[in-house]
Amino acid sequence: HGEEEAAKAQKAARALFSGGAEEGSIPFTEMDKSIFEEGIGILDLLKDLGLTKSNSEGRRLVEQGGISIDDVKVETIERKVTLDDFKDGKIMIRKGKKVYHQVRI
């Protein structure tokens, strides 16, 4: 059981960090580019993606260091996500240690 789980975790990590994750293995949402021209608040984005149920849940996660965008912790609830955050039309949002969600434009 332990070795099998470790092998699965290693495979998933390799796929994520090598950029070779299978398209179906990470949930993603296609969003309109115009949303990010002015920027969207991190709390609104988390709710829109279904990663949080409320602003207060999102606020708690951000304040506790539980939200990252492309492996950079979101430091403040005032953080706006803009087109500058996207690389090759994608960003990866991580909630906690295990929940990943990709946003594509």
Tens of pLDDT, residue by residue over 26-55, are 899 999 999 999 999 999 999 999 999 999
Q: What whole-number distance in Å separates Cα of residue 15 and Cα of residue 96?
A: 18
Q: What whole-number distance in Å separates Cα of residue 47 and Cα of residue 53?
A: 6
Which CATH fold would you assign to the domain 24-104?
A: 3.10.290
Nearest to 105 by CA among 38, 31, 11: 31
Q: Is the pLDDT of residue 21 over 50?
A: no
Q: What's the pTM value of the predicted model, to 2 decimals?
A: 0.77
| Residues paired with residue 95 on neighbouring β-strands, in sequence order | 67, 99
How do the domains of the chain map onto residue ranges?
Answer: 24-104
In the sheet with 99-104, reading across from the earlier edge strand, the strands are 28-30, 99-104, 90-95, 67-69, 72-73
Q: What whole-number distance in Å separates Cα of residue 83 and Cα of residue 57?
A: 25
